[in-house]
Amino acid sequence: MVKQIRWKCEQCGNGLLAPSRPRKNDVRRYCLPCSAKSGKLVERIAPALQKKSERKQIQRKQLVAKRRERIALSPKTYENNYRKYLTKYSNGWHIQSEAEKIWKLFEPYHNGKPMPTIKIWFNKMEFDYTEAKQSGDPNDVKVWKYPRGSLGHAEYWSNEIMLKTSCSWKTLAHELCHMAVRSRYKDGRRKAHDEVFYKALKDVCERRWKKHISFHEVTKYGYAVDRIIEKQIEPEVSAWVKQQADKNKHKKPIPLHIIKREEA
């Protein structure tokens, strides 16, 4: 036997039990007394079926909204926003304001020269959405950056420094140090990474991180000294980077399609 459900006349409230899908001409679909009174066929309705169709309608709306989001899913927009973010924030810290702070510390060396313009030059980047799509967690978007060559560059003649995206604090300090102390010439050869350079860098790092830096490991001036300094300020720098990243985390763009899907 077919399952019976309640059908009700909305006008008089009288009802009866009938199958959920009565034939079109089944007399139980209609309230005959009310039909006779009004001269038009008055249909009975089934509240259970109505609820079910309301639910279906909501589901259908959600489905349409989700499909629309998927169309609006624009990795291009996110990636452009991400690039813009990287021109301002390195690994979460604000490049310009930190550069100003460092430049001020270099004042005894540059004697108040204007701060160089900082240009960010983009690495080859790849965005990988696979994991984020599965988990719905926008933090799962992986951004691969491929740095090539040096991480920074100082241009004396145009008063510019160029940095790769996600530059480190020490790269910024290193390039600003070049601009502050310039180069020296010895036997017609340019000396940029010499004692003058590293003593200035050491001094600024000591004042910036309020820490004594030892040069007892230094045997020769050159890139090795960067690592000697870096090693000693590493705990302070990484604690600061972590704290800055936390403070600025809302500045980081989130792939919009993933947020929308979470809200739905």
**φ/ψ bin of 161: left (φ > 0), alpha (ψ from -120 to 50), beta (otherwise):** beta
CA 125 from chain centre, in angstroms, equals 14
| Minimum distance from residue 14 beta carbon to Zn ion (Å) | 5
List 160's β-bridge partners, or say none: 117, 155
Positions in the binding site for Zn ion (CB under 5 A): 9, 11-12, 31, 34
Range 58-63, long-range pairs (CB < 8 A, 24+ positions): 62/264
Q: Tell me the closest approach of the beta carbon of residue 6 to Zn ion, in angstroms.
A: 14
Distance of closest approach, residue 19 Cβ to Zn ion, in angstroms: 19
What is residue 114's three-state secondary structure?
coil
Give whichever of 34 and 95 is closer to Zn ion, judged by the CB atom. 34
Q: Which is nearer to Zn ion, 9 or 141 (CB)?
A: 9
- The residue (of 37 and 55) whose beta carbon lies closer to Zn ion is 37
For residue 120, the cross-strand partners are 163
Q: Rounded to the nearest whole angstrom, what is the least distance from the CB of residue 131 to Zn ion in the complex?
A: 37
- Cα separation, 101 vs 155, whole angstroms: 20
Q: Which is nearer to Zn ion, 18 or 31 (CB)?
A: 31
